[in-house]
Amino acid sequence: MKRRAACLAVLPEECVSVILSFTSPRDACRLSLTSSEFSSAALSESVWERFLPSDYEEIISRSVAPVVFTSMRDLFFRLCDSPILLRGSAMSFALDKGTGKKCYMLGSRELSIARGNTQYQWRWTRSLESRNSEAVEYGHGCRLDDIQCKMETHMLSPNTTYAAYFVYKLLTNGFEYYPVYASVKFVKGGGRGDIYAVNRAFLTSRTSTHVPIRQYGQLPRERRDGWMEIEMGEFFNDHGHDNEVELLVKGSKVLNFRLIVQGIELRPKEGK
C-alpha cells in the first residue's frame, strides 16, 4: 500500500483527478482520505462535473427556484441533499449520493387518479411535510382505485436498475393495514406494454410485522423524512431512450382511515 501511495505521489495532480473521475462519488470521497494527493485531486472541478449527469445544466435551468452553488462539488451535494422542484413543483429531482444517478419524485399532481373516485372521496390538500407542499388525501369510505403515472426513460440514468416507491401516510389512531397491488411495466407508443413486476404489498400506519399470517406481501418502511414507502417493483433502464415506464397502485377494499399520498419516487436500486 505504501508503495502504491509513493507511485501516486509522483503523478501530476491532473492525472490523479482523471483517475478519480472514472470511479464513483462514494469511492472518490473514500480515496480522498487515503493520501494528500487524492485529497487534493478529489476537489477538482473536472472530477465532480463528471459525476454530474451530462444534462445537468438543462435540468437545473428548469428548477422552480434558482440553484445557487459555488463549485461542481457544491452543486453535486446540493442536488443530493436538497431536491429541486420541476414542472411547477409537480416533480422533484435529486441525485443519489453514492452513485450520482438521477432520482425523481413524481408528486401528487403528476398522478392520474381513476375517475371512479369522485372528489367527494379524495381531494388535493396542502402538506408542509410533502416535498412540493401538496398531496392527495383519501377519506373514510373511499376505494383506492387506480393511481398511476408514467415516466419517460430518457429522463433516467441509462444502464441502471431502478426501483419505484409509493410514498404515503396513514392518519389513524391505531394499527391499520390495507392490501394493494403495484405494477411496473414498459409502455411503447401508448400500447399495453410488458409487465416487468407485479407486487402485493400492505399500506400500514407504521412499520410492523403484525399482518395476519394468512396474508402475504411486502411491508412498508419508514423514510428519513417521516413518510412511509412500499417498493412497487424494479426495472432495468438499458439505453434510456424511446420508452416509457408505467407505475400503478391499486386497492380493492374500502378505506376505514385517511390516506395521504405524496407521490411515486424512482431511484437507483441499492447494490445494483
Output the tens digit of pLDDT for each of the chain's 272 residues. 445 545 555 677 778 788 788 788 988 888 777 777 777 777 888 889 999 999 999 999 999 999 999 999 999 999 999 999 998 888 999 999 999 999 999 998 898 887 554 555 778 787 767 777 788 888 877 778 789 999 999 999 999 999 999 999 888 765 667 888 999 988 865 445 565 667 888 887 765 555 554 567 788 889 988 899 999 999 999 865 678 899 999 887 778 788 899 999 999 997 66
Which residues, at least 6 apart from 261, have a Cβ–Cβ distance to it below 8 Å?
A: 108, 111, 135, 136, 137, 138, 147, 166, 167, 168
What are the boundaries of each domain within the chain?
A: 1-51, 103-268
Tell me which CATH code domain 103-268 carries.
Answer: 2.60.120.260
Separation CA 116–CA 119 (nearest Å): 10
Candidates 170, 185, 156, 188; CA nearest to 249 is: 185
Separation CA 9–CA 30 (nearest Å): 17
Indicate the Cα dihedral angle 45, 86, 59, 229, nearest 10°: 70
pLDDT of 178 reads 81
Q: What is the pTM of this model?
A: 0.86
